[in-house]
């Protein structure tokens, strides 16, 4: 399957992600019914969104503009390779 290129379908995909998140969160909150859980859930979602932004925007635009990430696995591989390269440069201690 190729890359999604239609702007309409891309927006639809984004909307479906939002609806799925709202649906799942709503069901979870309906089952638990606690405002503290709702706040913690909101904080967790916000934190993961910021982490995702960090991985795919901040690193790419401010830390290493030459690297293009293909997904979270790509980011883990990038961090792993940088870590191993810096250990080789440091040499044995």
Does the pLDDT at position 68 exceed 60? yes
What was the pLDDT predicted at 78?
85
Say if 60 falls within a structural domain: yes
Say if 39 falls within a structural domain: no
Average pLDDT, the chain: 85
- Residues 93, 67, single domain; the answer is yes
pTM for the model stands at 0.61
- Residues 62, 23, single domain; the answer is no
Say if 41 falls within a structural domain: no
The three-state DSSP-derived secondary structure of the chain is CCCCCCHHHHHHHHHHHHHHHHHHHHHHHHHHCCHHHHHHHHHHHHHHHHHHHHHHHHHHHHHCCCCCCCCHHHHHHHHHHHHHHHHHHHCCC
What was the pLDDT predicted at 89?
62
* Count of domains observed in the chain: 2
- Residues 85, 50, single domain; the answer is yes
- Domain boundaries, position 29: 1-33
- Residues 7, 29, single domain; the answer is yes
């Amino acid at each position: 399957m190729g890359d999604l290129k239609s702007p309409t379908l891309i927006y639809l995909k984004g909307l479906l992600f939002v609806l799925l998140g709202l649906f799942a969160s709503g069901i979870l909150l309906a089952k638990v019914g606690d405002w503290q859980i709702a706040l913690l859930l909101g904080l967790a979602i916000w934190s993961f969104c910021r982490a995702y932004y960090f991985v795919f925007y901040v690193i790419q635009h401010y830390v290493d503009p030459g690297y293009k990430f293909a997904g979270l696995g790509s980011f883990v591989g990038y961090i792993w390779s940088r870590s191993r390269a810096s250990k080789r440069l440091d040499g044995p201690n």
